Amino acid sequence: MPTLNCEISQSLWTALQAATGESGETLSHIVSRALADTLQVDHGTLFQVSTSGALVEGLFQGVVSVGTLREHGDFGLGTFVDLDGEMIALDGAFFQMRGDGSIRRAEDDQQVPFAIVTHFAPEAPVTLAPFASIHELVAQLDALRHTDNVFFAVRLSGHFARVHNRVACKAGAHETLVQATSHQAEFECRDVDGSMIGFWTPSYAKGLGVPGWHVHFLSDDHRFGGHVLECAGDAITLAMERIEDFRIAIPESADFLAADLSGDTTQALDTAERVQKPASTA
């Protein structure tokens, strides 16, 4: 991450010191936030569309466009209207990964029922130890978080020995998330170069986000990708950003306003994340 060095007046310095003491924020965070507000940049902010609870209940209609998402981030994940595939945003490019295995650039006018994006600004990258499963990968990521109570964005890049993905297929009328993912497509690829991107969401945000790690993958040649269910890799490079600002766009549709979103989403999200069938080989 770049370092800013500049001279400021004594009065500003005194005010900054007072602000750090009163708020508990770091000097870096206060200055970055002030600059972001002045320059109208979403710095260190996660922008989310709708809620995981709405997704669980089958509210798959569009809330914002891909073009609107671009205004809030160049890095993220989500899905499309009627759960028609998985979304990944990487280096400012938004992709739609569909149930037939195809991958295409998403159009700015495509509508999105759920997504989470940010302007990715990670700390210095590190090299992970080899991992033979997603559980081993998660253990390494968890060891680097140092807290359960803020959000994290990650990008893992390099050569993966194995990646097992799922891609949601277009949902039928009135299907819930669990029903829709019961006929998801699953694909497996070995010896593939690419990037995984994802987010850690704290458990207290259950019902809003997907607690824990939520990760999508895209190969460097843009021929293979999806929501990651299993993986293995060696000498993978990790870039991580700690994020403490969370903003959400609440749908205004009649279906959302009338929906009962008071239920516990834990079991439904857990079921939707599982391997459902033998994977096709990509």
Set out the domains of the chain in order of their start, with CATH numbers.
Answer: 10-39 (no CATH), 45-281 (3.30.1330.80)
**Predicted TM-score of the model (pTM):** 0.83
Distances (CA, A) of 35 to 29, 74, 102, 123, 197: 10, 19, 41, 19, 26
Q: What pLDDT was estimated at residue 44?
A: 80
Report strand pairing: 93-97 vs 103-105. Answer: antiparallel
The b/e string for 207-237 (b: 16+ C-beta within 10 A; e otherwise) is bbbbbbbbbbbbbeebebbbbbbbbbbeebe
Alpha helices in the chain (DSSP H): 10-23, 27-39, 52-56, 66-72, 134-143, 177-181, 254-258, 266-273
Concatenated DSSP letters of 247-261: EEE----HHHHHS--
**pLDDT by residue for the chain (282 residues), tens digit each?**
578 888 889 999 998 888 877 756 678 767 876 776 677 666 689 999 999 999 999 999 999 999 999 999 999 999 999 999 999 999 999 999 999 999 999 999 999 999 999 999 998 899 999 999 999 999 999 999 999 999 999 999 999 999 999 999 999 888 999 998 888 999 999 999 999 999 999 999 998 999 999 999 999 999 999 999 999 999 999 999 999 999 999 999 999 999 999 988 888 888 877 655 556 666
* CA-wise closest residue to 218 among 105, 82, 63, 65: 105
What is the model's pLDDT at position 95? Answer: 98
